[in-house]
Structure 1
């Protein structure tokens, strides 16, 4: 508890204090500046663009992992042949770091087309599906969504494991009772299985959601830290810190902390109330 108090909460307080100063250089402590750094951030169009990218990435990441993870878990739960093999295959990407997978996906999502095409664009051309070739993460309007593709590939297996555990935790007696009452398969899932899976779905949303809000290494590995189309607040934080602007970088870190807290605190309150009811 002492270590957590010092190296987690103590450093959070220190970060917030720095964000309220004018320490824009590495030399000397800064003077009190109040909320000026936050006004500067939210008045900056580039920072708002990064927040918008983060929102798009988070929505795509959540939707992709939840949908694919649930479908995989549903197939395995129904007794798919070779379950052990497929379960291992789906979970394997989790063992790979975002940096390592980002290097591979940088080649797969290369924006070159025609004779210079590589990765997916080259595959599309060889299959006579050249109309599917595109700029991927270089696209100015939706380049950040291309970054969500490898993220979904890497974490969908984890969500699958959560849902599969949820499926396996539902007593068989509940299913048999519903069938004896004349429930169809759709009604069985809608009124019996899906309500039992709601805590699992909530946990998956919280875990995957807070991971998406802190995305940094995957973007750097694929697009670099200077690519405008894929910039997010974590990239801005690294850029400002590298320049020695401790006040602005601390303000960005505080904004990210607040965003994560908005997602996690309601979940902690919910779980606390569930424990109290038990």
Structure 2
């Protein structure tokens, strides 16, 4: 009992600090997002501003308001950036790890070179790649070294978009994506024999998919079409981000490959498995926990990305906007603190959706052990 009291007293200062400076400020931010702070310019920077409760009005304006079209494009940019950043970092990291796992000459040098970009800050990476992606130099003039004409892609300066869709289709696509994800969760629960999780995952996915293909197609967020798509200016930002973080995933995968027992690989060869079949049916499934951990880290980085885009394209270039950039502009340039707080809460929820399920699954595994 005495040891517990001593442990509690030792932890108490940290608990108080976390409660005030983390959860207390999150609660304050949530309250600000439910007010009209910033609507009245005279009250925005007042010493004691008069705040009025407006509920979810700020959130409604962000998703359906006429003046916040830039926020909606930033959300689309964030979705595409997250998908391509995660896919590129995982794919390139796995390929590098597979190459190093074969033990080439100079492996230590290559491992250091591949891992070095991770030691840089995103500001340094953004500055380097901004120089490399100049339309009249950098990567565009590389073909001239081989007597070929230079590239003419404008990189960060382009305003071209592809995969354009109507913002009004967002409810349909969201319900469809979540429904398919829950179907995958149900399939994994069936494999693991967890009937309760299987039941609720199937039920939730069926409800979402039925809603998506019925009411979801007729639900409109705006009274007019609003096209959004993948901005090609993000290609350069994605290249820079993948260049920096692929070394991290390489290190994770290389450790995983070196940790696979030799007996397992030899047993696969004895059973007649080709090299491709060994990777597909033996190695990649064994690397699944590493892939999941890397996805959580990369997803967390992608959702709160700010400094890389700030260094490469600045704050005022809409084609490369992400919600964090728009939040900064609203709160610290436009003094619309309530809307900026609302975007902060949305980003917090997105990060929580990525991190909390992973933490829950890890705690469950520890309890089973």
Shorter chain as denominator, the TM-score bin is: over 0.9
Mapped contact 1:237–1:252 kept (Cα < 8 A): yes
Instruction: Specify whether residues 92 and 46 from structure 1 end up closer, same or farther in structure 2 by C-alpha distance, changes over 3 A only.
Output: same
Are 1:200 and 2:214 an aligned pair? Answer: no
Kept after mapping to 2: 8 A contact 1:60/1:145 = no
The Cα of 1:53 is off from its aligned counterpart by: 0.7
2:137 corresponds to which of 118, 139, 142:
118
Partners of 1:177 and 1:126 in 2: how far apart?
48
Question: Structure 2: which 5+ residue stretches go unaligned?
Answer: 1-14, 39-43, 162-231
The match for 2:36 is 22
Whether the aligned pair in 2 keeps the contact of 1:121 and 1:130 (CA below 8 Å) is no
Q: TM-score, normalised by structure 1?
A: 0.93
Q: Give the alignment of 1:1-278 within 5 angstroms.
A: 1-24=15-38, 25-27=44-46, 28-43=49-64, 44-111=68-135, 117-130=136-149, 132-140=151-159, 141=161, 142-242=232-332, 243-278=334-369
Q: Per-residue deviation at 1:74?
A: 0.6
Residue 287 of structure 2 aligns to a residue in which SS? Answer: helix
Q: Residues 253 and 287 of structure 2 are in contact (CA less than 8 Å); yes or no, is this contact kept in structure 1? A: yes
For residues 77-105 of structure 1, give each alpha carbon's deviation from its aligned partner in whole angstroms, at most 9, with x where no partner exists. Answer: 12122111111000100111111121111
Secondary structure of the residue that 1:92 maps to in structure 2? helix
Given the two structures, how large is their TM-score scaled by the length of structure 2? 0.71
| Larger-gyration structure (1/2) | 2
Spell out, residue by residue over 1:29-72, the C-alpha distance to the aligned partner (whole angstroms, 9 max, x if none): 52111000001111222111010111111111111101100000
Give a deviation string over 1:178-226, Cα, whole Å, max 9, x none: 2233332222222221111000001111101110111111111111100
Distance in 1 separating the partners of 2:277 and 2:141: 45
CA contact (8 A) 2:140 2:153 kept: yes
Q: Deviations 1:83-141 (Å, cap 9, x if unpaired)?
A: 11111000100111111121111111112xxxxx1211233345444463211011112
SS in 2 for 1:215: coil
Cα pair distance change 1:9/1:199, threshold 3 Å = same
Q: CA deviation at 1:252?
A: 0.6
Unpaired runs of 5+ in structure 1?
Answer: 112-116
Distance (whole Å) between structure 1 residues aligned to residue 351 and residue 366 of structure 2? 23
Q: Is the 8 A contact 1:19 1:248 kept in 2?
A: yes
Aligned equivalents of 2:99, 2:251: Cα separation in 1: 12
Are residues 26 and 124 of structure 1, via their aligned partners in 2, closer, same or farther at CA, if it must alter by over 3 Å?
Answer: farther
Query: Separation in 2 of the partners of 1:174 and 1:121?
Result: 46
Change (3 A) 1:122 1:184: closer
